């Protein structure tokens, strides 16, 4: 049975054996040994400082780019979504956003202020922390084009402020100081028009709804787009639209999405990911790079 207990010195909530299927957009995944919901950044710093040095730590936002295997996660999961949720205007063109704020909320917040440049974030089904970690993008926009500075925490609970120049950023890739996690960012926008920004967000969301399987459990794009091509085009050209393993299927609406049609296991999804990659490699010679992160233990492992 799942035990819920408040750590004496902490203000957050610690769950034990928490099913990760509740916290991933694919709706699959075994239990996390420990699942911590911090009260705020200061509370999280205290929690990290108290962890054993060899304790594995995983961070989860909306769980939208994540496949947790059926055997679950050994170690501690840090939950940010809706918890590290501060967002506010710093000056005329900058906004500070904590890691647990959804990308869609950031887009709407900036639009209401009449600030432009963040509209594309409405198309990213995750949190700011995840977007920072992988330089998430949509509709031609990329997260780190907006980043002026970030705040990070390390294993010892040390909070640091760093400039964007401390990081090497590429397509769906971010490299920076080892052993630090993003807890907030300062974004630099441009002055614009509230109505125009709101209209652009509606346009992008309509486009997303028309082209992606938003009504079925999925984790966004499974593979990165290879140079000068599209993963979805390659997958579709191999005749893989609608291909299933168990209840996990390649979406018939967008070939770079895998959907849980009901009752899929993480093993089904992982097997389908491997099948798609192997088929594309065999038929086109292109080696697709996975965008989705796979973590945890195989069932019975």
Does residue 154 lie within any of the structural domains?
A: yes
Nearest to 172 by CA among 64, 263, 290: 290
* Residue 261 structural domain: 231-295
Q: What's the pLDDT at 193?
A: 86
Domain end marker among 79, 103, 125: 79
Structure tokens at 204: 């992008």
Does residue 218 lie within any of the structural domains?
A: no
Annotated catalytic residue: which of 172, 224, 233, 290? 172
* The total number of structural domains that make up the chain: 3
Does residue 153 lie within any of the structural domains?
A: yes
Q: What's the pLDDT at 207?
A: 84
Residues 200 and 153 in one domain: yes
Q: What's the pLDDT at 67?
A: 97
Q: How far apart are the first and last CA of the chain?
A: 20
Does residue 217 lie within any of the structural domains?
A: no
Distance, in Å, from the CA atom of 271 to the CA atom of 298, rounded to the nearest integer, reads: 12
Give residue for tokens 């299933």.
244
Domain end marker among 24, 59, 79: 79
Residues 28 and 37 sit within 8 Å (Cβ to Cβ): no
> Does the annotation mark 221 as catalytic?
yes
Residues 193 and 135 in one domain: yes
Helical ranges in the chain per DSSP H? 41-50, 103-112, 128-134, 194-211, 231-237, 266-284
Q: Please provide the size of the chain in residues.
A: 301
A 10 A CB-CB count for 254 gives 20
Residues 179 and 238 in one domain: no
Residues 59 and 284 sit within 8 Å (Cβ to Cβ): no
Domain end marker among 79, 97, 114: 79
Does residue 51 lie within any of the structural domains?
A: yes
Give the strand order in the sheet containing 244-245: 244-245, 248-250, 258-260
Annotated catalytic residue: which of 64, 221, 251, 265? 221
Stretches where the chain sits below pLDDT 50 are: 1-6, 301
Residues 25 and 69 in one domain: yes
For residue 222, give the 3-state DSSP assignment.
coil
Contacts of 91 (CB under 8 A, 6+ apart): none
Q: What's the pLDDT at 3?
A: 38
Report the interhelical angle of 103-112 vs 194-211 (nearest 10°).
150
Annotated catalytic residue: which of 119, 151, 188, 291? 291
> Does the annotation mark 224 as catalytic?
no
Does residue 222 lie within any of the structural domains?
A: no
> Does the annotation mark 291 as catalytic?
yes
Q: What's the pLDDT at 154?
A: 95
Residues 165 and 103 in one domain: yes
Residues 182 and 92 in one domain: yes
pLDDT in tens, 19-54: 999 999 999 999 999 999 999 999 999 999 999 989
Residues 46 and 67 in one domain: yes
Q: What's the pLDDT at 5?
A: 45
Does residue 220 lie within any of the structural domains?
A: no
CATH number of 238's domain: 3.90.78.10
Pairing state between β 4-5 and 13-19 = antiparallel
Distance, in Å, from the CA atom of 167 to the CA atom of 172, rounded to the nearest integer, reads: 13
Residues 287 and 175 in one domain: no
Helical ranges in 20-145 per DSSP H? 41-50, 103-112, 128-134
Q: Buried (b) or exposed (e) across 26-44, using 16+ Cβ within 10 A? A: bbbbbbbbbbbbbeebebb
Residues 18 and 133 in one domain: no
Residues 69 and 95 in one domain: no
Residues 91 and 205 in one domain: yes
Q: Check residue 300 and give left, alpha or beta (phi > 0: left; psi -120 to 50: alpha).
A: left
Does residue 148 lie within any of the structural domains?
A: yes
CATH number of 75's domain: 3.30.43.10
Residues 67 and 94 in one domain: no
């Amino acid at each position: 049975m799942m035990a819920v207990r408040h750590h004496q010195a902490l203000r957050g909530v610690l769950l034990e054996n928490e099913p990760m299927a509740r916290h991933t957009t694919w709706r699959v995944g075994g239990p996390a040994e420990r699942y911590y919901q911090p009260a705020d950044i200061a509370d999280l710093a205290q929690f990290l400082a108290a962890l054993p040095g060899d304790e594995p730590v995983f961070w989860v936002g909306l769980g939208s780019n994540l496949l947790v295997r059926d055997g679950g996660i050994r170690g501690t999961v840090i939950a940010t979504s809706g918890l590290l949720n501060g967002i506010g205007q710093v000056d005329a063109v900058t906004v500070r956003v904590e890691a647990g704020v959804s990308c869609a909320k950031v887009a709407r917040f900036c639009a209401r202020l009449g600030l432009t440049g963040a509209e594309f974030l409405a198309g990213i089904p995750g949190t700011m922390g995840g977007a920072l970690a992988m330089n998430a993008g949509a509709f031609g926009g990329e997260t780190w084009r907006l980043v002026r500075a970030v705040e990070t925490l390390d294993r010892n609970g040390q909070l640091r402020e760093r400039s964007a120049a401390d990081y090497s950023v590429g397509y769906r890739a971010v490299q920076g100081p080892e052993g630090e996690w993003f807890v907030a960012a300062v974004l630099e926008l441009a002055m614009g028009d509230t109505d125009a920004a709101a209209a652009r967000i509606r346009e992008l969301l309509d486009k997303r709804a028309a082209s992606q399987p938003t009504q079925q459990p999925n984790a966004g794009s499974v593979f990165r787009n290879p140079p000068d091509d599209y993963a979805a085009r390659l997958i579709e050209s191999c005749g893989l639209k609608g291909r299933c393993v168990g209840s996990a299927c390649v979406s018939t609406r967008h070939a770079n999405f895998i959907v849980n049609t009901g009752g899929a296991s993480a093993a089904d999804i992982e097997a389908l990911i491997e099948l798609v990659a192997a088929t594309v490699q065999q038929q086109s010679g292109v080696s697709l790079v996975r965008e989705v992160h796979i973590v945890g233990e195989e069932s019975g492992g």
